[in-house]
């Protein structure tokens, strides 16, 4: 394909054989060696063109997409209008549909709006559309929010290549797993989960019962566990969101947007100087913490100091505290538990031994919980509200079998109606119930002492 914009000849097979000129104006998605998705124009209309590459699978995948859209239309489900199915001069198969205008993906809407209720409304809209699909015998293998478009009150399911079609409605058991797969993204609980289940059940004309709710909860837990494990693996390698570095005695991972906004090697080489010139938050034997401004970004950097050869050996075997903080920060983010966004971590190596390590997070300009509680003008009602906010955040960690391990006064921040936990190197994800209960009680006692 040429650089954008470009024109390409398409030989159509359906709905009739002809030759037409398609103008591609923008690349929407690319999976190298498999397919590309463009927005473009055809006969004065805005269209989406999906090109499939590969000698053996291109024809099968394109045909599956075309027939999938026809299946949705025949079942009177929301679908983009079909234009053409055909092939290009270089052998690529293509499917062309009319573009659905004035819409956004559910994922885009979800990420733009941090309001909990608005996000729940988005998931509820998808749940209703999923119920219609399942009722019509459509099984969506990938219920990711990026696979749904929203235009006003209408929801369009995309990626028909990930759908299978049955002549009858999906069974209750399979349907509940579909709902759980969708809900796992939002990780709802209590009334939120009940609402999503009711919205889905109403479309299916079901009487919702406790067994249904239990089944959905069980499926959500299993799905979330797999997604989190997969997400944490991605967080330590180069991907769409991260860049792994290994150069000149340093190893680590950067958030891709942060990586692209700075000169990483220059940043690494001068990091100790930057920290010394910044606002020193802590200068201890174990760690050194500084707040700096770099390339217009406010950062907090924590360095875990070198404490001798045997300490370095232990960290090299167990993994650095910075890498642990990096993974813990991403884990909490995936569980929708507020914590400063981790932007990078890296380790300074001497051969195979980690000498010291660094964790870089966003700086959050908000006060500590204890500071607000101790202010003379903080009335009793406000104190109770803030204590409840902190308890809600810590309780959410505990419900996921996570303990903080160091809930002192400086590690809970308050921003509007949110309690944010920081300093995650003492955080533990528990497998053993007895150990969890002991650590949970310690967290609760520490929280009470702060409040």
Residue closest to 34 by CA, chosen among 46, 22, 50, 21: 50
Burial of 182 (0-12, 13-18, 19+ CB in 10 A): buried
Rounded CA gap, 356 and 321, in Å? Answer: 9
Output the tens digit of pLDDT for each of the chain's 451 residues.
Answer: 568 899 999 999 999 999 999 999 999 888 878 889 999 999 889 999 999 987 778 888 999 999 999 999 999 999 999 999 999 988 889 999 999 999 999 999 998 888 889 999 999 999 999 999 999 999 999 888 889 999 999 999 988 988 999 999 999 999 999 999 998 877 777 889 999 999 999 999 999 999 999 999 988 888 888 888 989 999 999 988 999 999 888 999 999 999 999 999 899 999 999 999 999 999 988 899 999 999 999 999 999 998 887 777 877 788 899 999 999 999 999 888 999 999 999 999 988 889 899 999 999 999 988 888 888 888 888 888 888 898 999 999 998 999 998 888 778 999 888 899 999 988 999 989 999 999 999 998 888 876 6
Q: Which domains does the chain have, with CATH numbers?
A: 6-98 (3.30.200.20), 104-228 (1.10.510), 242-362 (3.30.200.20), 369-450 (1.10.510.10)
Q: If you write DSSP's letter for every residue of 320-369 in order, what string do you get?
A: -HHHHHHHHHHHHHHTT---PPEEEEEEEEETTEEEEEEEEEE-----BH
Instruction: Encode pLDDT of 28-63 as tens digits.
Output: 888 878 889 999 999 889 999 999 987 778 888 999
Residue closest to 6 by CA, chosen among 21, 28, 20, 16: 21
Phi, psi torsion values for 212, nearest 5 degrees:
-60, -45
* Chain-centroid distance, C-alpha 397: 18
Rounded CA gap, 407 and 126, in Å? Answer: 38
| Angle of helix 116-135 versus helix 190-204 axis, rounded to 10 | 30
Write a three-state SS string for 70-93: HHHHHCCCCCCCEEEEEEECCCCE
Find the angle CA(323)-CA(311)-CA(341) to the nearest 5 degrees.
20
Q: Is the pTM of this model over 0.95?
A: no
- Do the beta carbons of residue 49 and residue 24 sit within 8 Å? yes
């Amino acid at each position: 394909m040429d650089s954008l914009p470009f024109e390409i000849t398409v030989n159509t097979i359906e709905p009739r054989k002809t030759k037409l000129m398609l103008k591609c104006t923008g690349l929407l998605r690319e999976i190298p060696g498999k397919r590309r998705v463009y927005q473009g124009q055809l006969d004065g209309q805005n269209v989406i063109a999906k090109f499939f590459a590969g000698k053996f699978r291109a024809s099968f995948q394109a045909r599956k997409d075309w027939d999938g859209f026809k299946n949705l239309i025949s079942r009177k489900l929301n679908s983009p209008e079909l234009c053409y199915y055909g092939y290009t001069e270089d052998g690529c198969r293509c499917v062309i549909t009319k573009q659905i205008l004035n819409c956004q993906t559910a994922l885009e809407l979800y990420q733009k709006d941090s309001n909990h209720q608005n996000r729940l409304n988005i998931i509820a809209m998808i749940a209703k559309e999923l119920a219609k699909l399942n009722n019509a015998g459509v099984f969506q293998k990938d219920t990711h929010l990026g696979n749904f478009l929203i235009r006003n009150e209408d929801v369009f399911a995309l990626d028909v290549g990930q759908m299978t079609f049955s002549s009858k409605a999906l069974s209750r058991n399979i349907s509940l797993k579909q709902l759980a797969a969708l809900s796992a993204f939002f990780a709802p609980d209590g009334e939120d989960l009940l609402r999503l289940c009711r919205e889905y059940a109403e479309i299916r004309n079901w009487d919702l019962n406790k067994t249904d709710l239990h089944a959905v909860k069980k499926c959500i837990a299993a799905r979330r566990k797999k997604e989190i494990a997969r997400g944490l693996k991605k967080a330590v390698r180069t991907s769409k969101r991260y860049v792994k570095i290994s150069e000149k005695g340093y190893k680590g991972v950067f958030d891709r947007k942060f990586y692209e906004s700075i000169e990483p090697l220059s940043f690494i080489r001068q990091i100790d100087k930057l920290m010394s010139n910044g606002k020193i938050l802590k200068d201890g034997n174990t760690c050194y913490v500084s707040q700096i401004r770099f390339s217009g970004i406010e950062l907090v950097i924590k360095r875990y100091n070198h404490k001798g050869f045997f300490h370095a050996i232990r960290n090299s075997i167990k993994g650095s505290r910075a890498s642990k903080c990096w993974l813990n920060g991403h884990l909490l983010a995936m569980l929708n538990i507020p914590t400063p966004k981790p932007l990078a971590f890296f380790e300074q190596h001497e051969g195979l031994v980690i000498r010291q390590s660094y964790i870089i997070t966003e700086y959050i300009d908000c006060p500590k919980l204890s500071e607000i509680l101790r202010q003379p003008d903080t009335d009793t009602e406000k104190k109770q509200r803030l204590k409840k906010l902190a308890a809600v955040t810590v309780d959410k960690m505990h419900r996921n079998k996570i303990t903080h391990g160091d809930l002192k006064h400086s590690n809970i921040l308050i921003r509007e109606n949110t309690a944010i936990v920081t300093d995650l190197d003492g955080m533990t994800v528990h497998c053993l119930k007895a150990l969890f209960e002991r650590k949970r009680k310690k967290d609760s006692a520490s929280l009470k002492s702060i409040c």
